[in-house]
């Protein structure tokens, strides 16, 4: 075999070889630092670490390098993926609802849609993707699973209430994720609104407003009445432009599970966010430890679609089981390959569960002694 060795792969991925050896051990493969890896194993390790490899699995070092770094010519702009966070009752849901309705303003049909956990709006003929579910727990859960989905974070602070504990949490999450923050100073229609106080308190958290010489954008708004909401959308586009968000629509799709549920009639129904590549109906896909073929795909308006480009949320059916939010997905060229990888992953999951439950019973035993 001409394959790359464990040590070489580790170096390329900026990982400890021992981590990869451990990972493969858990997957039932005994390797040493000098063992050469077959294509499927490389693919598996990359998927486990969320590193992207292109469709043709690399066979030698040079091609691996090429695969990891996308060909710049293939990269195109993709819509920003935005999460809204903030203290309870400060207006997150109201803001998301108001933004969803702006579609009609932009001349797009269908303001009210089914809920699939994410939606897109067009602003100045460029799309923005909003994650509709997160809230702090989902955000944390996704990050804990290694999923990086958000490009920009909007933190909503009610101007009549100021910075509250969950506001601070939101700031911590956004800082940990290293994404730009836009502060929406909400409920400006209320007589008790005090935006200066919000700006002061946010400055104390290290978010100094632009107008005070800092680099955080604060937008005053009323999510309920709609004032300032367009400003928020335009600000997102400005920040997105500075970030130069790119993806390669030519490759096999990869991305993250946003929501998943079991439907009595349709089986597992899963909302995926395509983050790179293009997802097509008929694609063979591994989602966490599940696999299948994309049998049917619908957009956030419930319309059937045949392909989904980067940053697009879609609902799919066709998986053999229900994955969890934050699981990553990847399209493979053959169903056989997808099935083998999914089976191995679910085997690992079972083994890990068995290990942790046997560890617990050993603990119990120790306690009894
Ligand atoms: P969430 O918990 O952050 O999702 O907050 P909600 O969107 O559910 O809003 C909590 C309450 O504040 C609801 O009664 C909203 O109608 C109200 N609210 C939200 N935004 C505004 C606003 O801009 N002005 C006023 N006056 N009320 C608002
Ligand atoms: Mg809410």
User: CB under 6 Å to ligand 1: residues?
Assistant: 86, 88-94, 186-187, 189-190, 222-224
What would you measure as the largest C-alpha separation in the chain, in angstroms? Answer: 73
Asked if 272 contacts 316 with a C-beta cutoff of 8 angstroms, the reply is yes
Rounded to the nearest whole angstrom, what is the distance from the C-alpha of residue 74 to the centroid of ligand 2? Answer: 39
Question: Tens digit of pLDDT for each residue in 107-149?
Answer: 555 544 567 889 999 998 899 999 876 555 666 666 666 668 8
- Protein residue with its CA nearest to atom 2 in ligand 1: 89
Q: Which pLDDT score, from 0 to 100, does residue 230 have?
A: 95
The Å distance, Cα 224 to ligand 1 centre, comes to: 7
Residue 261 assigned ligand-binding role? no
Closest CA to 51 of 70, 32, 31: 70
Phi, psi torsion values for 58, nearest 5 degrees:
-65, 140
Q: Which residue has the higher pLDDT, 327 or 68?
A: 327
Instruction: State the pLDDT at residue 52.
Output: 64
Question: Environment class of residue 198 by beta-carbon count within 10 Å: exposed (0-12), middle (13-18) or buried (19+)?
Answer: buried
Q: Which residues contact 200 (CB under 8 A, 6 or more apart)?
A: none
Q: Probe ligand 1: pick from 84, 94, 219, max atoms within 8 Å of CB?
A: 94
**Element housing 198 (H / E):** helix 195-204
**Alpha-carbon distances, residue 319 vs 131, 263, 297 (angstroms):** 22, 12, 12
**Complex-level ipTM:** 0.99
User: What pLDDT does 64 receive?
Assistant: 30
248 known member of a binding site: no
Quick check: 58 pLDDT over 50?
no
282: left (phi over 0), alpha (psi -120 to 50) or beta: left
Return the residue matching tokens 């955080």.
216
Beta bridge partners of 191: none
Q: What percent of the chain has pLDDT over 90?
A: 53
**Range among 42-56, 222-236, 318-332, 333-347 rated most confident:** 222-236
Ligand 1 closest atom vs CA 221: 23
Is the pLDDT reported for residue 211 higher than 70? yes
**pLDDT for residue 210 is more than 70:** yes
Residue nearest to atom 17 of ligand 1 (CA): 91
């Amino acid at each position: 075999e001409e394959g790359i060795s464990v040590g070489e792969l580790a170096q390329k991925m900026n990982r400890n070889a021992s981590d990869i050896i451990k990972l493969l051990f858990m997957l039932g493969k005994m390797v040493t630092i000098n063992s050469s890896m077959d294509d499927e194993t490389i693919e598996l390790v990359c998927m486990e670490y969320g590193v992207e490899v292109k469709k043709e699995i690399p066979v030698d070092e040079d091609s691996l390098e090429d695969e990891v770094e996308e060909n710049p010519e293939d990269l195109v702009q993709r819509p920003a993926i935005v999460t809204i966070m903030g203290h309870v009752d400060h207006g997150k849901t109201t803001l998301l609802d108001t933004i969803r309705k702006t579609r009609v303003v932009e001349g797009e049909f269908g303001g009210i849609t089914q809920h699939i956990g994410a939606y897109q709006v067009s602003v100045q003929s460029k799309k923005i993707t909003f994650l509709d579910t997160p809230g702090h727990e989902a955000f944390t859960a996704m990050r804990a699973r290694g999923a990086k989905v958000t490009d920009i974070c909007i933190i909503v602070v009610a101007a009549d209430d100021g910075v509250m504990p969950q506001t601070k949490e939101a700031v911590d999450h956004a800082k940990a994720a290293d994404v730009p923050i836009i502060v929406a100073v909400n409920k400006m229609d209320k007589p008790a609104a005090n935006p200066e106080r919000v700006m002061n308190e946010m400055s104390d958290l290290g978010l100094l407003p632009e107008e005070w010489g800092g680099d955080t954008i604060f937008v005053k708004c009323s999510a309920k009445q709609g004032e300032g909401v367009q400003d928020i959308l335009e600000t997102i586009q400005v920040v997105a432009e500075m970030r130069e968000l790119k993806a390669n629509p030519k490759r096999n799709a990869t991305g993250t599970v946003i929501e998943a549920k079991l439907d009595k009639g349709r089986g597992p129904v899963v909302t995926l966010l395509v983050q790179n590549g293009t997802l097509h109906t008929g694609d063979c896909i591994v989602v966490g430890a599940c696999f299948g073929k994309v049998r049917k795909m619908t957009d956030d308006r419930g319309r059937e679609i045949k392909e989904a480009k980067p940053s697009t949320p879609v609902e799919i059916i066709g998986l053999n089981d229900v994955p969890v939010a934050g699981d990553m997905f990847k399209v493979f060229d053959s169903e056989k390959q997808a099935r083998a990888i999914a089976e191995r992953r679910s085997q690992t999951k079972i083994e890990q569960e068995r290990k942790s439950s046997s560890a617990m019973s050993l603990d119990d035993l120790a306690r009894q002694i």
